[in-house]
Structure formats: C-alpha cells, structure tokens
Amino acid sequence: MSELKETLKAQIIEQLNLEDLTVADIADDAPLFGEGLGLDSIDALEFIVLLEQNYGIKIADPSEGKEIFQSVDSLAAYIEKNQ
C-alpha cells in the first residue's frame, strides 16, 4: 500500500504539473484540497483523468470526487477497493 502511495504522489505531481514539489513534500494524510496543497475543483478533474488513465477506474460524476480525493490515504484506499 505504501508503494502505491509513493507512486500516487509522483503521479499527482506529474498530472497536476506541480513541478516544484517532490514526493517528500506530500504527507500521506495531508489535505490535498482547500488548505494543504491548495488544490481546487479544476484540479479535481485532473484526479478523474489520473484514475482513469493510470488505474482504469472511471468516475462519471465529478462531484463524487470530493471525498475520494481528500488525501493520498483516501485516494489509495479507493484504488485498492475498486481495481
């Protein structure tokens, strides 16, 4: 699971063009939206792309994303459950 999380962090940085961030900069449980990384609803759309392209998981309704994308922890848990 921790390997998945490290991979996810790298993918988030790549997908969202967070060029100046490193994997070490993102804590597993840090909030990704609002505070924390300051991501917003546009970035949530990128997570939808990320899930589909890298893990084959499709989220049809963008509004479901809020809970799933809260942190790397919640994202990893969702992927493990739905792959």
The residues binding other proteins (CB under 8 A) are 15-18, 20-21, 35-43, 45-46, 49, 53, 62
**Cα–Cα distance measured from residue 77 to residue 43, given in angstroms and rounded to the nearest whole number:** 19
CB of 8 to other proteins, least distance (A): 17
Which lies closer to other proteins via its Cβ, residue 1 or residue 53? 53
Residues facing 2 on adjacent strands: none
Nearer to other proteins, 23 or 45 (CB): 45
Give the total residue count for the chain.
83
**Three-state DSSP class for residue 50:** helix
Nearer Cβ to other proteins (18/57)? 18
